[in-house]
Amino acid sequence: MQTVQADDVLFRMHGSNTIGAKLAPALVRGWLFQNGYTQIQSIENAREEINIVSRNQAGVKKIIEIKSHGSGTSFKALKKGLADIGMSSRPIKQKENNKLKQFGEMSRQGVEFVLGLDGIAVIVNPQNPLSQLDKVIVKKIFTGEITHWNEVDKNLTGKIQVYARDNKSGTFDTFKALVMGKKVSLIKTAVRYESNDKLSDDVSSDKFGIGFVGLPSVRNAKPLAVSEPGTQAKKPEKFDVATEDYALARRLFLYAPEINSNVYAKSFMRFAESELGQKIVDANGFISQNLKLKPITPDSRFPAEYLKLTEDGLRLSLNFRFKKGTTKPDNKAMRDISRLVEFLAKKENKKKKVMLFGFAESSESSHPAFSLDLSTYRVDWVADLLVLNGIDPVRVRAYGDANPVASNEDAGGRHKNRRVEVWLL
């Protein structure tokens, strides 16, 4: 292991293996190159630990440290002053927030940044004939309630072998929150992994295996479509992950406390959120926040007016999402307003017309009228900000809790349903 002097280190990133294995090093190299650093190379110090070494314009060696031992380790490192940036493939937990009170509220703007999006893929061996699973069945498999493949499909045989990430993993935390819930445990015979790629490779070689990984780690395994109660089964396709309509879509986070802030870390955060930084996110198999348009055929169960208004439209690859019971947007929504304005200002988009559709989730109100009001206030919030930027939407509609894109049975699903969709004509 090389000896590192404090003056040599520009900043330190600790946490998620999902981010730290490939994406963080790629972003760091992009940032270094953009800022005139040369002789950029990666040096492995230990398992899941690397230094990105370069030379500044004066020829002085500079280092960026990346340690990727799981999302939970990011907040411990921030607390101990061992990291400048925490990498997490899930949002910070309240108990972690409480332990970092010296930095203030960690989920506020300027501290919590959405780096990109990912979908947790439920994977099986390529020879497995299944194409989709209900989320309830997935839960029963991973908790051990279902242990043989013939309990899933009578035409299948063999004992199921479960593969899962370790307890430090944000991927596991997200999977547990979205699929398993808090009151049940992972089956004891599950094989556990620190690495997404290794898990995927082992599932690929086991005809009885099933596991879950982030999208860039699907590799040679077979990803299944996942359905939820009242929603269509969707594979982890990039567009559905970008809109977060896929059942197991998740956000990737960076946390950079403002106290004792590092100017190099701040510069890196701006780069990571930029259009170029987001292209690097895309290039590494994740889903960027750079906006895209796509023709979409909505679920036929959606309201007739909505289906009529959208039949000639193109869906934009973002949804504005809101905090429970309020018209207060989350941090990603605040940044997405700027992205939307910049997108619509491009020459090829200036003549396009904007349609906005607002929604609530079922537990926000005991009365449908309140749900409709809440969705109306949300869509008006987006419309008002666009008008302030010289963009006048041609249609603004609200539908209460009529169009769920995820289950209302868990917090993650309810957050996805509190949204405003953007369509262009």
Q: What is the pTM of this model?
A: 0.87
**Burial of 413 by CB count in 10 Å (0-12 exposed, 13-18 middle, 19+ buried)?**
buried
Q: Where are the domains of the chain?
A: 6-114+251-283, 118-239, 291-424
The CA-CA-CA angle for residues 278, 280, 284, to 5°, reads 120
- Residue 186 CA to its chain's centroid (Å): 22
pLDDT of residue 42: 96
Which pLDDT tens digit goes with each residue over 379-422? 999 999 999 999 999 999 999 988 888 777 777 788 888 999 99
Domains 6-114+251-283 and 291-424 are alike in CATH topology: no
What's the fold here for domain 291-424?
A: 60s Ribosomal Protein L30; Chain: A; (3.30.1330)
Residue 6 pLDDT grade (very low, low, confident, very high; cuts 50, 70, 90): low
Reading the block at residue 392, the tokens are 């006048």
CA distance 62 to 11: 10
Ordered alpha helix ranges (H), 35-105: 71-79, 94-99
| Number of C-beta neighbours around residue 402 at 10 A | 17
**pLDDT over 90 at 184, yes or no:** yes
CA distance 94 to 105: 10
pLDDT of residue 4: 56
CA distance 175 to 168: 13
Q: How many CA atoms lie within 13 A of 180 on its CB side?
A: 19
Which pLDDT tens digit goes with each residue over 138-156? 999 999 999 999 999 999 9
pLDDT of residue 1: 45
Residue 369 pLDDT grade (very low, low, confident, very high; cuts 50, 70, 90): confident
Q: Average pLDDT of the chain?
A: 93
Per-residue pLDDT averaged across 299-304, rounded? 87
**pLDDT over 60 at 196, yes or no:** yes
Q: Which DSSP string corresponds to 374-417?
A: HHHHHHHHHHHHHHHTT---SEEEE-TTS--SS-TTSHHHHHHH
Residue carrying structure tokens 């780096």: 115
6-114+251-283 sits in which CATH class? alpha beta
Which pLDDT tens digit goes with each residue over 230-283? 677 888 889 999 999 888 998 999 999 986 679 999 999 999 999 999 999 999
**pLDDT over 90 at 200, yes or no:** yes
- Residue 314 CA to its chain's centroid (Å): 23
pLDDT of residue 149: 98
**pLDDT over 90 at 13, yes or no:** yes
**pLDDT over 50 at 99, yes or no:** yes
Per-residue pLDDT averaged across 329-354, rounded? 93
Architecture of domain 118-239: 3-Layer(aba) Sandwich (3.40)
Per-residue pLDDT averaged across 209-220, rounded? 95
With a pLDDT cut of 70, the percent of the chain lying above it is 97
**pLDDT over 70 at 3, yes or no:** no
Per-residue pLDDT averaged across 55-74, rounded? 96
Going by C-beta distance under 8 Å and a sequence separation of 6 or more, which residues neighbour residue 261?
A: none
